[in-house]
Amino acid sequence: MPENCIYIARSSAIAARALAGEMMVMNSADSTFFTLNEVASAIFQAADGRTPLRDIVRDRVCGQFDVDPEQAQADAEQFITELSSHGILLVSNQPLSSQTSRETPR
Amino acid sequence: MTEPRQVACVEIGGIPIALATSDQPFLDLLRRRYDGFLSSSRPEFELEFDLISAGSASADDVRVRRNTDADQWILERGDFRARWDPRTGRGRVRQNANPYSLDSVLRILHSLILAERGGFLLHAASAICEGRAYLFSGVSGAGKTTMTRLAPPNITLLTDEISYLRPSPGGYAAFGTPFSGELAKAGENCTAPVAALFFLEQGPENKIDELPPAEAVRRLMRNILFFAEDHNLAEKLLATACDFVARVPIRRLTFYPDTRVWDLVRNFDRNFKRKFEPDFDRNFVGNLKEVPEHA
């Protein structure tokens, strides 16, 4: 999948809350639990299904953290692959329905 | 001829549940098992038991899900199948007559009720010392039962296995449960405000360390008993865990297994209260029995 076509959305089957700069994410289907660091939280919160991953990395990661853009993109793709394998994120090469992404986690 | 239906009301965590059966030996079994938690309160919920010959118990294959057509909960494991309707508060259980199945059904039912009410069951030992409840959680073998064995004689054991927690005006309250672990001894049926939750690790010396809030939530979530495949309850539970971390001191307790660790625990609470909670005890209102005199 070409990187400029990746769209990501938060699954509707998760519960999430921000705490002290980290995001707590629980998959309600199997009760698995994850904590995301600051960078991962920024990507997760921006996963609205409409914004390409490339733009999320540029605006929310490279614009906020001191990281190499190419490395940031590679890390982001690895991160979304892992979270999608746990049913936390949905990944597509087309924009995703807004029904999959609930409101931004608190 | 069908035997008459009889009821025993079992009140754990201040929530009375009527257990109904027409099988006299099973009634005797549950009365023995929950002796100390039998209640004359008006039941909030009712479970009716049908005894069957079922498969063996396995902790791994439990499923708790909503039947979307009837808005009922379905609780299933190899040794039981139950339906429970939260709107009417009534349910029906088909299980074999062993007490472990009975314990499991009750634990799952309480976990569902508590999740709606901002509480939870925690894989932790708990005990009351000087009117305050201390919780000790950790992986299997971390020392939960050891902490209860090392406790001074004036403590009241709430459980060595499954702690019962509900929100209270001053924070959270811990309640005794009949659910026992290695000690094979039910806890006392009483309650106290939670002073602290310690995640246990054994080491060469006794010490207490801070845990960052996110790490505290992560550890807490790992040890909460939650079985339901349900998005709304998962959201509530996560919110409850974050609230608990905000309102209850949570620390890592590294301990060498001798009785001095309890001095450290008590001193921690005294120092913490002096620093942060001058009004805590005045604000707390218990909602079950008073803590026994010796506690």
What confidence tens digit (pLDDT) does each residue in A1-38 have?
Answer: 444 589 999 998 899 998 888 899 988 888 888 889 88
Q: What is the pLDDT of residue B292?
A: 38
Q: Residue B171's pLDDT band (boundaries 50, 70, 90)?
A: very high
Residues of B in contact with A16 (CB under 8 A): 238
Residue A99 lies inside a defined structural domain of this protein: no
Segments forming the whole domain that contains residue B91: 6-116
Are B93 and B170 in the same domain?
A: no
Predicted confidence (pLDDT) at residue B207 exceeds the cutoff of 90? yes
Provide the number of structural domains found in chain B. Answer: 2
Instruction: Indicate yes or no: CB of B230 within 8 angstroms of CB of A28.
Output: yes
Residue A36 lies inside a defined structural domain of this protein: yes
Q: Residue B288's pLDDT band (boundaries 50, 70, 90)?
A: very low
pLDDT tens digits along B106-115: 999 999 999 9
- Give the closest of B215, B229, B235 to A29, CB-based: B229
Residue A101 lies inside a defined structural domain of this protein: no
Q: What is the pLDDT of residue B100?
A: 86
Residue B294 lies inside a defined structural domain of this protein: no
Segments forming the whole domain that contains residue A67: 3-92
Residue A39 lies inside a defined structural domain of this protein: yes
Q: What is the pLDDT of residue B286?
A: 33
Residue B182 lies inside a defined structural domain of this protein: yes
Residue B1 lies inside a defined structural domain of this protein: no
Provide the number of structural domains found in chain A. Answer: 1
- Percentage of the residues of chain B whose pLDDT score is greater than 70: 88
Identify the CATH number of the domain in which residue A32 sits: 3.90.930.60
Instruction: Indicate yes or no: CB of A17 within 8 angstroms of CB of B229.
Output: no
Greatest CA separation for chain B? 67
List residues of chain A with CB under 8 Å from any CB of chain B: 12-17, 19-22, 24, 26-31, 33, 35
Q: How far apart are the C-alpha atoms of A49 and A12, rounded to whole Å?
A: 12
Residues of A in contact with B245 (CB under 8 A): 19
Residues of B in contact with A15 (CB under 8 A): 231, 234-235, 237-238
For an interface test with A, the pick among B108, B221, B240 (most A C-beta atoms closer than 10 Å) comes out as B221
Q: What is the mean pLDDT of residues A86-100?
A: 83
Question: Of B116, B142, B175, which residue is a domain's last?
Answer: B116
B3 interfaces chain A, CB cutoff of 8 Å: no
Residue B279 lies inside a defined structural domain of this protein: yes
Q: With a threshold of 0.80, does the pTM exceed it?
A: yes
**What's the N-to-C CA distance of chain B in angstroms?**
50
Residue A106 lies inside a defined structural domain of this protein: no
Q: Residue B290's pLDDT band (boundaries 50, 70, 90)?
A: very low
Residue A87 lies inside a defined structural domain of this protein: yes
Predicted confidence (pLDDT) at residue B277 exceeds the cutoff of 60? no
Q: How far apart are the C-alpha atoms of B75 and B228, rounded to whole Å?
A: 9
pLDDT tens digits along B143-161: 898 998 899 999 999 999 8
Are B124 and B141 in the same domain?
A: yes
Question: Of B116, B138, B171, which residue is a domain's last?
Answer: B116
Residue A102 lies inside a defined structural domain of this protein: no
